[in-house]
A and B are shown apart, each in its own frame.
Chain A
Amino acid sequence: MAKTLTVLLMRGPFISEHADLAVNFALEAKKKGYNVNLWLYLDGIWVPHVKTEKDYSNVGEWLRWALQKGVNVKACKRCSDARDVTEDDIINGIPIVAAYDLLNFLKESDKVVTFTG
């Protein structure tokens, strides 16, 4: 059975390279056949807010690609509520769920990496 990786992303888009690194790392792990979870936490919930087309490569584009490829992405509800971000504001296919859902990700994972920015 394939191993499971969980990536925690706590940093928003453009302020540092961590959002780019986290999403591309998750995508590469998925390509290699691992089960991959991506948990968007704190300012990480701004990453799926990058949802329109741009004329430059951007983390929103990579995140949409990661979703297409089967990366399991969830966003923290407390963090979203605090920032007034709803599911209508972000890329389709990313549920905003209780912070405690992170525990399930952690329990099922062989490895967990955290990008704090």
Chain B
Amino acid sequence: MANSIGIILTKTPHGSEDAENALMIGKEALAAGNNLGIFLLGDGVWVGKAGKNDRIQTLLLEIIQQGAKVAISEPHLKAYGLTGDKIVKDISIIKKPYVQMVDMVMEEWDKVIIF
């Protein structure tokens, strides 16, 4: 039976290798037949910003197309001056990120890793 893998991503796209590593791991998890959830939190919301022409965006769009459920923290979007129309389509905007994170970690995901 497929596992449900959760990745919480808190890093910017290019400040370190974490964002790329997180998405690569997510891609491999999907390829292995798992379900994948990604939560963009803190600086990680920049990974969800649309219109970038880079490997990170390409990876994100690929894994969304392959069935990953991606969510993004609204309070962090607002803190950075980002609005819903500026993020990648098909990403769910979460008004109460901690509430959602607890539900995902404790009830939805079998395994979770934080970048």
Residues of A within 8 A of B (CB): 3, 5, 17-18, 21, 24-25, 27-29, 32, 34, 110-111, 113-116
Contacts and interface: CB of A to CB of B under 8 A. Distances in A.
Contacts, number: 39
Interface in B34-85: 41-43
Contacts of A5: 105-106
A31 B38 CA distance: 23
Contact of A34 (B8, B10, B43, B106): B106
Main secondary structure, interface of B, reads: helix
Given A21-B10, A114-B114, A34 B102 contact: yes
A113 B114 contact: yes
B112 interface: yes
A5 B8 CA distance: 16
B101 interface: yes
Contact of A113 (B42, B43, B99, B105): B105
A18 B41 CA distance: 10
A32 B83 CA distance: 29
Interface of B: 8, 10, 41-43, 98-99, 101-102, 105-106, 112-114
B43 A25 contact: no
Contacts of A34: 102, 106
Given A17-B42, A18-B10, A21-B41, A116 B106 contact: no
Which 3 pairs from chain A and chain B are nearest by CB? Answer: A28-B98, A17-B42, A29-B102
Given A17-B10, A17-B43, A24-B98, A115 B106 contact: no
A109 to B, nearest CB: 11
